[in-house]
Amino acid sequence: MSARILDGKALAARRRAALATRVAALQFRPGLCVVRVGDDPASGVYVRNKDRAAREAGFSSETLQLPENTTEAELLAVVKRLNGDASVDGILVQLPLPGHIRTEAVLDAIDPAKDVDGFHPVNQGALMLNRPGLVPCTPRGVMLLLEEAGVSPKGARAVVVGRSTIVGRPVSTLLLNADATVTTAHSRTRDLAAECRRAEILVAAVGRAGIIRGDWIAPGATVIDVGINRGADGKLVGDVAYAEALPHAGAITPVPGGVGPMTIACLLENTLEAALARRAG
């Protein structure tokens, strides 16, 4: 038996279309502002995709491109101005920032109500406490893909490989909040293969091509591959050895076309949520 392929591209397109319908019925246009410092080519593609998707869904979208030598104080002043700009509902500072700027200082300066990336400590804390807040986009996309697969986390054994604040940790917390029994694995985990083999839901967020082997996957498990790696041939591959995994998994996300497209759809959903929450007072 070969695994069912979870088509994140199609799901993201449906969610963006549903958003566009909701936005068209509003009396205002939700506003997203992406701040980019320097010229990291990989993030350039993301920023352009975000901008296009936002406009297509009827949002007003602006990208502030700042020079590489922007100081931390200058960037903080930009964030402060955007916090006070009533036309801006969502602020996203594109990471990574140049080394001379402290990422934490910048993320902490964003108004939590406009923090559509969900990286501010207030939003991360709300997630931890299982209270309403803005949830990081990629983790939110992971949960939507599970829902699409018809997989309920309730009572399930879930293993998340990776514990970054951007992906692994919030995915683990969302799964815990959804009543899964969660193991979070990382670089110090003693026997990663054994941990993975126990998973009914396996989420890989490592950043190493093919680190998760096919025979680490329990029969019928649902596998969500967050990893984006450039293979030796220049093609994008995930953290899961995809061809090996197909005969073992019940359902699996491809790379590309799985989690990646969901991230932008969730960013727009967060922006609409932020816009509605701010207007509701």
Q: Which residues are catalytic?
A: 50, 94, 117
Distance CA 57, CA 211 (A): 36
To the nearest whole angstrom, how small is the minimum distance from the Cβ of residue 226 to ligand NDP?
4
Q: Does 118 bind ligand NDP (CB under 6 A)?
A: no
Per DSSP, the residues of 178-189 read TT-EEEEE-TT-
Contact 80, 111 (CB under 8 A): no
Closest CA to 124 of 186, 177, 48, 87: 177
- Could you say which residues in the range 25-54 bind ligand NDP, by CB under 6 A? none
Q: Does 259 bind ligand NDP (CB under 6 A)?
A: yes
To the nearest whole angstrom, how small is the minimum distance from the Cβ of residue 194 to ligand NDP?
13
Q: Does 70 bind ligand NDP (CB under 6 A)?
A: no
Q: Does 229 bind ligand NDP (CB under 6 A)?
A: yes
Q: What is the dihedral of CA 184, 189, 193, 194, to 10 degrees?
A: -80
Per DSSP, the residues of 18-49 read HHHHHHHTSSS--EEEEEEES--HHHHHHHHH
Contact 57, 16 (CB under 8 A): yes
Q: Which one of 58, 133, 139, 227 is in contact with ligand NDP (CB under 6 A)?
A: 227
Q: Does 226 bind ligand NDP (CB under 6 A)?
A: yes
E strand or H helix that includes residue 237 = strand 236-237
228 appears as a binding residue in the annotation: yes
Closest CA to 106 of 124, 127, 125, 83: 83
Residue with smaller CB distance to ligand NDP, 60 or 257: 257
Q: Which range in 24-32, 109-117, 146-154, 256-264 contacts ligand NDP by CB under 6 A?
A: 256-264
Tokens of 87: 């036309």
Contact 62, 32 (CB under 8 A): yes
Q: Does 250 bind ligand NDP (CB under 6 A)?
A: no
To the nearest whole angstrom, how small is the minimum distance from the Cβ of residue 144 to ligand NDP?
13
To the nearest whole angstrom, how small is the minimum distance from the Cβ of residue 69 to ligand NDP?
25
Residue with smaller CB distance to ligand NDP, 133 or 227: 227
Q: Which one of 187, 215, 230, 235 is in contact with ligand NDP (CB under 6 A)?
A: 187
Contacts with ligand NDP, residue ranges (CB under 6 A): 138, 161-164, 166-168, 185-189, 192, 205-208, 211, 226-229, 259-260, 263
